[in-house]
């Protein structure tokens, strides 16, 4: 506690017990002190009754002798009457916006750029929460608050001095002269604490008024209310965190001269009686420290009493800030780090109705791109007609989109308040968008289907599924190539994959000897895949990788499945009635039996290799591998097989996603690259074999 605070505490006690009438100045300092304790520190030490006693005493004194009134008297906080309009005012220094970063790599890029701008000097960063409220700028001259303004367009804001005064945590006067400062512009944010916001909303609803939507909009709306008295009742707080302008009595700039560090500025702001982020701010000297501090806040923000949508990272030295300079839009010495957002608003632009390989029609929402949890989302599945109806989604609606962590993004709902009347009902088609066959919705299903076996869209999806990584895993035959081949008449069915006309492919744009050779190899290798992969590739409903492996362990040839009854199938561990019925239907269908015989004739493996299944394990479950250099104990194909049979995955290049690099003899650039990424384990062939032993 400072000397001054002790003195004010004593004065409080004296005034409460004294016989002598207090002076106006005594009352003002005591009231200011207790305002500060209550609104800035949230640590009141006197009762409301005692506070009211002082306030009334001052008011009476001033009423009897108006000459005693000073502009910064606590009685002058809430102006009487209505504000007619908010005049435009120019900020002393433009309020630039901050560039956003969304991950530590982008923060590191920013830090590297700063390092170049300051000629490789040592740089400290001051990191503070990015409060989610309404920006304001306060100007003090000769220790008195003379002006408050909204951010506006950054150059010109609206003058809201009377409303800012009505916010109890904004000091009407502050002792900047102690620091040699005559005129100063402070930046900050007007916010409403989360619990206060909820409380205010409860009160509103109880009074039959409409609840506010969120603290930020409420804060910015409150700043522009005509009646300062109402502003004073909104539970607003002003948190001041930045000095943009400071001069002495002679008009000489002090930034970078006597004011040297952003952290010290925040400290001074706090000492002058403002609410500031002094408790939250941290000075970080390395990217690692920055990363750790940001990570801490990703969690902390949920329990922090004020809404934050990220952190602000600023160069601490004001001299270095000046060296960095600014673009027309952003300072180059600061950047915002946005927390991985879980929810965002986005407009529904259109809906695509996609035909899946089983004929199921899936509505897919095309939305205005939004950034969530580190990825940009522009389309989201709407799943089915029922979901559209339940959520009442219309074209042009504002949607609430959510994506938490690695989860697939989904639509939480719409914001009906943001409709403007131009929204259109979403009509589900009655015919297949690909082949125009009438769509059918089987009883008790939520999905509409195209039941045309020759539907081109279904064929496309069936082939894409057949060649995909989890199924036959054909290298060189990606989604777009399948689509092109179908469009060029090169592929008409699944069997066609094994009878491609390479002479014709050679004439297509983008196809050279090398890519044709790759494709031929990929197709050739797929003929030797284990049986479970063929089971997955056929696209039997409800049969995924796990089920396919369960089944493959119980049969010697795929043709056996045509002879099994539903009961036989249920007897297999892991197979339920739904799956059993689906398998039975598929393998007793004439067309499918025909397809299997054709594939067999084309050289595809349709039998089980017991040794393969015996060695299969999950020892490498989900781990990724890459082989480099000359392997001496097994070939590349065998290596790939070993990884996959044991549940691992093969990557084609060194990246942060790689878990193991198996380095053979005279390994080259891949090894060098892998050594630079600490998370990659570099192992020998023997060590690899030990992993699966
Ligand atoms: Zn169709």
The pLDDT assigned to 614 comes to 44
Torsion of CA 578, 579, 580, 584, to 10 degrees: 110
Walk across the sheet containing 134-141 and list its strands.
144-150, 134-141, 183-192, 236-247
User: How is residue 159 annotated by DSSP?
Assistant: B
Does ipTM exceed 0.90? Answer: yes
Q: How far is the CA of 428 from the centre of ligand 1 (A)?
A: 15
Q: How far apart are CA 623 and CA 222, in angstroms?
A: 54
Instruction: Classify 5 as helix, strand or coil.
Output: helix
Please tell me the CATH code under which domain 456-611 is placed. Answer: 1.10.150.20
Walk across the sheet containing 282-284 and list its strands.
100-101, 334-338, 308-315, 125-131, 282-284
Q: How far apart are CA 222 and CA 647, in angstroms?
A: 58
Task: Report residue 178: phi and psi, to 5°.
Answer: -55, -25
| All CATH 2.40.50.140 domain ranges in the chain, comma separated | 343-437
Q: How far apart are CA 484 and CA 663, in angstroms?
A: 38
Q: How far apart are CA 647 and CA 130, in angstroms?
A: 44
Provide the CA 157 distance to its chain's centre, in angstroms: 30
Judged on CB neighbours under 10 Å (0-12, 13-18, 19+), 265 is: buried
Cα–Cα distances (Å) from 86 to 141, 223, 425, 444, in that order, read: 21, 10, 41, 60
Half-sphere exposure of 275 (CA within 13 A, CB side): 25
- Which tokens is 278 given? 């002094």
Among 127, 64, 122, 135, smallest CA distance to 96 is for 135
Sign of dihedral through CA atoms 417, 419, 425, 428?
Answer: negative
Q: Which residues contact 586 (CB under 8 A, 6 or more apart)?
A: 538, 540, 541, 592
The alpha carbons of the chain give a radius of gyration, in whole angstroms, of: 35
Q: How far is the CA of 352 from the centre of ligand 1 (A)?
A: 14
The pLDDT assigned to 127 comes to 97
130 is catalytic: yes
The pLDDT assigned to 615 comes to 46
The pLDDT assigned to 611 comes to 52
Is-contact 603 529, C-beta < 8 A? no
Q: How far is the CA of 459 from the centre of ligand 1 (A)?
A: 9
- Which tokens is 354 given? 């996609």
Cα–Cα distances (Å) from 465 to 2, 540, 640, 654, in that order, read: 73, 11, 21, 27
The pLDDT assigned to 374 comes to 63
Q: How far is the CA of 497 from the centre of ligand 1 (A)?
A: 22
Is-contact 182 140, C-beta < 8 A? no
Cα–Cα distances (Å) from 371 to 97, 101, 104, 341, in that order, read: 18, 11, 16, 8
Q: How far is the CA of 492 from the centre of ligand 1 (A)?
A: 15
Q: How far is the CA of 412 from the centre of ligand 1 (A)?
A: 30
The pLDDT assigned to 169 comes to 94
User: How is residue 408 annotated by DSSP?
Assistant: P
* Long-range pairs of 379-388 with CB within 8 A, sequence gap ≥ 24: 379/352, 380/409, 380/410, 380/411, 381/408, 381/410, 382/351, 382/411, 383/446, 384/446, 384/447, 384/448, 385/428, 385/441, 385/446, 385/448, 386/446, 388/363, 388/426, 388/428
Among 124, 135, 104, smallest CA distance to 298 is for 104
**Any bridge partners for residue 624, and if so which?**
649
| All CATH 1.10.287.610 domain ranges in the chain, comma separated | 3-76
| All CATH 3.30.470.30 domain ranges in the chain, comma separated | 90-338
Q: How far is the CA of 439 from the centre of ligand 1 (A)?
A: 8
Walk across the sheet containing 660-663 and list its strands.
649-650, 624-628, 660-663, 681-683
Please tell me the CATH code under which domain 624-692 is placed. Answer: 3.40.50.10190
Q: How far is the CA of 577 from the centre of ligand 1 (A)?
A: 28
Q: How far is the CA of 393 from the centre of ligand 1 (A)?
A: 25
Tokens 């002798």, located at residue: 65
Q: How far is the CA of 499 from the centre of ligand 1 (A)?
A: 25
Q: What superfamily in CATH does domain 3-76 come from? A: Helix hairpin bin (1.10.287.610)
Q: How far apart are CA 145 and CA 152, in angstroms?
A: 20
User: With a threshold of 0.95, does the pTM exceed it?
Assistant: no
Q: What superfamily in CATH does domain 343-437 come from? A: Nucleic acid-binding proteins (2.40.50.140)
Choose, from 56, 59, 130, 249, the residue flagged as catalytic: 130
Q: How far apart are CA 292 and CA 288, in angstroms?
A: 6
Q: How far is the CA of 462 from the centre of ligand 1 (A)?
A: 13
Tokens 């408050």, located at residue: 148
Q: How far apart are CA 462 and CA 358, in angstroms?
A: 8
Q: How far is the CA of 238 from the centre of ligand 1 (A)?
A: 60
Residues, CB within 5 angstroms of ligand 1 (ion): 432, 434-435, 437, 450, 452, 455
Cα–Cα distances (Å) from 110 to 14, 116, 136, 340, in that order, read: 55, 10, 26, 18
In this prediction, the residues of the chain whose per-residue pLDDT falls under 50 are 405, 613-615
Is-contact 283 316, C-beta < 8 A? yes
Q: How far is the CA of 354 from the centre of ligand 1 (A)?
A: 10
Instruction: Classify 449 as helix, strand or coil.
Output: strand
CATH topology of domain 90-338: D-amino Acid Aminotransferase; Chain A, domain 1 (3.30.470)
């Amino acid at each position: 506690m400072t000397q001054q605070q002790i003195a004010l505490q004593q004065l409080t006690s004296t005034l409460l017990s004294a016989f002598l009438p207090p002076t106006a100045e005594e009352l003002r300092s005591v009231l200011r002190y207790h305002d500060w304790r209550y609104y800035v520190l949230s640590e009141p030490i006197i009762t409301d009754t005692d506070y009211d006693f002082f306030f009334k005493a001052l008011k009476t004194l001033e009423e009897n002798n108006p000459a005693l009134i000073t502009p910064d008297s606590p009685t002058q906080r809430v102006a009487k009457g209505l504000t007619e309009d908010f005049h435009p005012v120019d900020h002393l220094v433009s309020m630039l916006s901050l560039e956003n970063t969304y991950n530590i790599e982008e923060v590191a890029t920013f830090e590297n750029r700063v390092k170049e701008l300051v000629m490789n000097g040592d740089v400290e960063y001051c990191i503070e929460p990015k409060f989610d409220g309404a920006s304001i700028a306060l100007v003090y001259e000769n220790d008195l608050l003379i002006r408050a303004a909204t951010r506006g367009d950054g150059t010109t804001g609206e003058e809201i001095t009377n409303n800012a005064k009505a916010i109890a945590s904004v000091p009407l006067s502050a002792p900047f002269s102690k620091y040699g400062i005559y005129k100063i512009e402070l930046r900050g944010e007007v916010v409403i604490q989360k619990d206060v916001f909820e409380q205010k909303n409860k009160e509103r609803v109880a009074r039959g008024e409409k609840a506010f939507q969120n603290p930020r909009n409420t804060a910015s709306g409150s700043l522009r209310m005509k009646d300062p008295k109402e502003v004073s009742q909104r539970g607003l707080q002003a948190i001041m965190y930045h000095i943009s302008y400071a001069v002495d009595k002679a008009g000489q700039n002090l930034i970078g001269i006597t004011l040297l560090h952003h952290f010290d500025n925040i400290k001074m702001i706090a000492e002058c009686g403002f609410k500031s982020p002094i408790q939250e701010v941290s000075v970080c000297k390395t990217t690692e420290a920055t990363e750790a501090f940001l990570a801490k806040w990703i969690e902390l923000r949920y329990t922090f009493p004020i809404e934050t949508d990220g952190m602000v990272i600023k160069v601490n030295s004001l001299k270095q800030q000046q060296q960095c300079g600014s673009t027309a839009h952003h300072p180059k010495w600061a950047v915002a780090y946005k927390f991985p957002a879980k929810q965002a608003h986005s407009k529904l632009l259109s809906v695509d109705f996609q035909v899946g390989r089983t004929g199921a029609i899936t509505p897919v929402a095309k939305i205005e791109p939004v950034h969530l949890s580190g990825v940009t989302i522009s389309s989201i599945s709407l799943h089915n007609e029922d979901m559209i109806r339940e959520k009442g989604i219309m074209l042009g609606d504002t949607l609430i989109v959510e994506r938490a962590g690695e989860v697939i993004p989904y639509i939480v709902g719409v914001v009906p308040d943001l409709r403007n009347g131009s929204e259109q009902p979403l009509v589900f088609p009655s015919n297949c968008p690909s082949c125009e066959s009438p769509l059918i919705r089987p009883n008790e299903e939520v999905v509409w289907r195209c039941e045309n076996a020759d539907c081109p869209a279904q064929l496309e999806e069936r082939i894409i599924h057949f060649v995909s990584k989890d199924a036959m895993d054909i290298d060189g035959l990606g989604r777009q190539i399948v689509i092109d081949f179908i469009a060029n008449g090169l592929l008409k069915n699944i069997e066609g994959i094994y009878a491609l006309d390479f002479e014709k492919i050679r004439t297509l744009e983008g196809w050279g000897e090398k890519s044709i050779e790759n494709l031929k190899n990929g197709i050739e290798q797929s003929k030797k895949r284990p049986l479970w992969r063929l089971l997955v590739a056929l696209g039997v409903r409800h049969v995924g990788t796990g089920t396919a492996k369960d089944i493959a362990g119980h049969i010697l040839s795929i043709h056996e499945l045509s002879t099994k009854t539903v009961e036989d199938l249920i007897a297999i561990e892991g197979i339920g009635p739904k799956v059993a019925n689906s398998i039975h239907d598929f393998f007793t269908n004439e067309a499918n039996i025909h397809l299997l015989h054709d594939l067999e004739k084309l050289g595809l493996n349709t039998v089980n290799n017991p040794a393969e299944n015996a060695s299969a394990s999950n020892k490498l479950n989900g781990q990724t591998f890459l082989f480099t250099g000359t392997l001496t104990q097994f070939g590349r194909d065998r290596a790939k097989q070993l990884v996959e049979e044991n549940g691992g995955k093969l990557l084609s290049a060194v990246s942060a996603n790689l878990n193991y690099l198996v380095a053979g003899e005279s390994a080259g650039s891949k090894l060098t690259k892998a050594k630079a990424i600490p998370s990659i384990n570099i192992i020998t062939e023997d060590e690899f074999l030990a992993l699966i032993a």
